[in-house]
Amino acid sequence: MAASPRIARIALDRPLDRLFDYRLPEAATPQPGQRIRAPFGRGTAIGVVVELAASSEVPPGRLRALQAVLDAEPLLDASLLELLQFGARYYHHPLGEALLGALPPALRHGNPLPALAPETLWRLSPTGRDALNDHRVRGRRQRATLRALEQAGPDAALDRATLAAATGLRLAPRELRGLKERGWLETTAPDADHPVAPTPGEHALTPEQQAAVAALDPTHPTPLLLQGVTGSGKTEVYLQMAERVLARQRQVLFLIPEIALTPQLSARIQQRFPGQVALLHSGLAEGERLRAWEAARRGLRRIVVGTRSALFTPLPDLGLIIVDEEHDAAFKQQDGFRYNARDLAIKRGHIEGAAVVLGSATPTLETLHAATSGRYALARLKNRPDGSRPPPVEAIDTRVHPADEGLTAPLLDAMQQTLDADQQCFLLLNRRGFARVLSCDACGWIAECPSCDARLTIHAHNPRAVCHLCGHQEARPRRCPECGEALAQRGLGTQRLEQALARHFPTTPLIRLDRDSIRHKGALEEALERIRQLGAAIVVGTQMLAKGHDFPQVGLVGVIDVDQGLFSVDLRATENTLQLIVQAAGRAGRGAGGGRVLLQTGHPDHPLIRSLDAEHYPAMVAPLLEERAAAGMPPHGYLALVRVDADTAEHARHHAERVAAHLLAAATADLRVLGPAPAPRHRVNRRFREQILLQSAHRGPLHTALARARQDWQADERPRTVRIAIDIDPVSLA
């Protein structure tokens, strides 16, 4: 008789590269994917069962028993385990951290799964409908709530989250109960077999949109790139695709770069599919996030809308993954388990037989190449439904028209014309703060962070100078510490631009959008709403301006300064700057009357600037792809970066050299090992950074060498203060 498996192989929540064997306690039969608590060292650790075995190489006397099995069933199903095992291997990261990190924080800490109480649904009562129509409902919030239910359709019953999304209000349960006590609302319980039907879309699809929806084969995991000019109605296409997949009783995972920046998008999805959406992002309270995750895992919610980490939500009936704005760097995790959610989404589609759609007006060169070479399917939206077109980009030569506080005369004239026509001006400046630096004109001294290779920035209404890298703050010096002269503020940030604009256009409403201005909860929603309601107005902001917002009144987009980004040496700086210009340009000219895009540059004749064309992005970036091919850069080659950082420059250098030696020893002929070299920002937060770049025409040699070298360097003696991190397919080399 074969021995029944009494050994569990566990991945522990520790940065360790191996599984640990434990004896199963009497009567316990956990399955892979279940959490356990195990004795570890002198304490205990949470872990996940990866496999069961009949025997162990650990001598029986040394084998310890599991302390407790925490779940009655696997939390991570077989396909998610497979995905995370693949991810841990591909990104060279310890499996335990990848597995536990994929769970909501509450579960990672060992909390039990929540029991989900059936959720109350709210419905407009006949009395409520009458009261609404007779204008007897006085309160603004009350009216908005009743109105949202009326608009959701006859007899629509919505949960609180959907109502909150539909009204844009944070609705407390108490508020809804109050409306019920007045007789205006009724409650019902959800019926899983008869979910509320999707709200019909606002628009009939254009033929192009229909073709895009039809291009998705929901039974096939070949990824589909949906490349549509800004404003071409990609969201409507996603929603129709989702509807088709839901109708086949499957679930939909909708990944977006950042929920906070695009509140309308998640609200729109929730309104379209009332009561079916689970929102998952890091802004949620721990308990809220856990309940949303559990509702998706149990199949109670059919759509998950979330950021990067929502990729790992268990979905028993997954049928479609949508990655919106696939070019956004937010899909790449930048510390710890450095995965790219877009790339792992494609892997997940393969494993689970789910369709995958990547959407963008400005796809990454990697995705574009995959689609044009036939590896991905391609659907294009070349036109906007309203027939408007992204305007051409015009350059303003800053050598001929010098900028004063960022503003040239031609830009100011064009702004005046736009405002006179009751239209809005959007000004993009990808740098926040007031003045960039505090410098001495007499001796050249510049205020710098004591801990980083970075200059301090000055913000309006803050008497202190701030480091954007490490958060260091200090009193703003008035005089130069070297020579005693008064200090000047040089450079330009959004706050200073805002002040200059207020002087030029003293009576025009002015709105600023950057991380500083949206810090308060609800501030962004408020600003977006104001922009929508205003006529003539000026909006200044960072790249946040360019994020998917749909405003009909934008007559002019001004790009204040792009030269730094366009001509930088970093791998993707040019690509990212072009994407930013095209996305920003896409905000203009959506309504009647077209629009203009003005770009201030000192290089108006440069081929990159001359070929700017928001309407034909793929053609515009074709030369960049050729450059990448010639240089063996992605997508025509593969990169990995090994970063070494330490408390002193000497430590960082010494250990980076040892890591490089291991890599060289493991490398085959088709792998280049470049470095170590100091990172572009050598010193950040009092630590020193070196990096080694690996480049190969194929993935294989790169991963084989890394895996071997990593084993070797893990055996090295090293002070605890030295850290080594691996970044596969890095989005930036800085």
Residues that bind ligand ADP (CB under 6 A): 203-206, 209, 228, 230-236, 385, 548, 550
Q: Does 470 bind Zn ion (CB under 5 A)?
A: yes
Least separation in angstroms between residue 683's CB and Zn ion is 9
Tell which one of 425, 440, 588, 666 touches Zn ion (CB under 5 A). Answer: 440
Burial environment of residue 671 by CB neighbours within 10 A (0 to 12, 13 to 18, 19 or more) = buried
Phi, psi for 355 (deg, rounded to 5): -75, 150
| Angle ∠(193,195,200) on CA atoms, nearest 5 | 145
Choose between 17 and 550: whose C-beta lies nearer to ligand ADP.
550
Residue 233 interacting entry, from ligand ADP, Zn ion, none, C-beta within 5 to 8 Å by type:
ligand ADP
Residue 235 interacting entry, from ligand ADP, Zn ion, none, C-beta within 5 to 8 Å by type:
ligand ADP
Other C-beta atoms within 10 Å of 459: how many?
20
Least separation in angstroms between residue 512's CB and Zn ion is 24
Identify the CA nearest to 396 among candidates 406, 405, 404, 408.
408
Least separation in angstroms between residue 234's CB and ligand ADP is 3
- Please give the DSSP secondary-structure letter assigned to residue 340: B
The identity of residue 682, as a single letter, is H
Residue 318 interacting entry, from ligand ADP, Zn ion, none, C-beta within 5 to 8 Å by type:
none
Least separation in angstroms between residue 549's CB and ligand ADP is 8
Q: Is the dihedral of CA 202, 204, 206, 209 positive or negative?
A: positive
- Cβ within 8 Å of residue 666, ≥6 positions away: 704, 705, 706, 708, 709, 712
Q: Does 482 bind Zn ion (CB under 5 A)?
A: yes
Choose between 199 and 601: whose C-beta lies nearer to ligand ADP.
199
CA distance 146 to 227: 38
Q: Is the dihedral of CA 271, 275, 276, 277 positive or negative?
A: positive
Identify the CA nearest to 601 among candidates 395, 340, 378, 329.
395
Q: Does 445 bind Zn ion (CB under 5 A)?
A: yes
CA distances from residue 337 to 61, 97, 611 in whole angstroms, order as listed: 35, 8, 38
Choose between 241 and 679: whose C-beta lies nearer to ligand ADP.
241
Q: Name the closest residue to ligand ADP (Cβ).
A: 233
Tokens of residue 580, six digits = 């930013």
Least separation in angstroms between residue 259's CB and ligand ADP is 16
Choose between 73 and 485: whose C-beta lies nearer to Zn ion.
485
Stretch that binds Zn ion, among 237-245, 482-490, 642-650, 674-682 (CB under 5 A): 482-490
> In this structure, are residues 228 and 234 in contact, taking their beta carbons and an 8 Å threshold?
yes
CA distance 263 to 522: 10
- Cβ within 8 Å of residue 235, ≥6 positions away: 265, 268, 324
Whether the link from the prior residue into 635 is cis, omega within 30° of 0, is: yes
Residue 385 interacting entry, from Zn ion, ligand ADP, none, C-beta within 5 to 8 Å by type:
ligand ADP
Q: Does 480 bind Zn ion (CB under 5 A)?
A: yes
Q: Does 53 bind Zn ion (CB under 5 A)?
A: no
Q: Does 442 bind Zn ion (CB under 5 A)?
A: yes
Least separation in angstroms between residue 231's CB and ligand ADP is 5
Choose between 111 and 685: whose C-beta lies nearer to Zn ion.
685
Judged by CB under 5 A, the chain residues 670 through 689 that form the site for Zn ion are none
Other C-beta atoms within 10 Å of 280: how many?
25
Q: Does 467 bind Zn ion (CB under 5 A)?
A: yes
Displacement of CA 635 from its chain's centroid (Å): 21
Least separation in angstroms between residue 532's CB and ligand ADP is 11
Choose between 136 and 382: whose C-beta lies nearer to ligand ADP.
382
Choose between 452 and 726: whose C-beta lies nearer to Zn ion.
452
How many residues contact Zn ion, by CB under 5 A? 15
Burial environment of residue 118 by CB neighbours within 10 A (0 to 12, 13 to 18, 19 or more) = exposed
Choose between 271 and 439: whose C-beta lies nearer to Zn ion.
439
Question: At which residue do the structure tokens 């960049």 appear?
Answer: 624
Stretch that binds Zn ion, among 169-177, 256-264, 333-341, 468-476 (CB under 5 A): 468-476
Choose between 454 and 534: whose C-beta lies nearer to ligand ADP.
534
Choose between 112 and 201: whose C-beta lies nearer to ligand ADP.
201
Choose between 104 and 233: whose C-beta lies nearer to ligand ADP.
233
- Please give the DSSP secondary-structure letter assigned to residue 596: E
Residue 482 interacting entry, from ligand ADP, Zn ion, none, C-beta within 5 to 8 Å by type:
Zn ion
Residue 209 interacting entry, from Zn ion, ligand ADP, none, C-beta within 5 to 8 Å by type:
ligand ADP
Chain positions contacting Zn ion, by CB under 5 A:
440, 442-443, 445, 449, 451-452, 467, 469-470, 472, 480, 482-483, 485
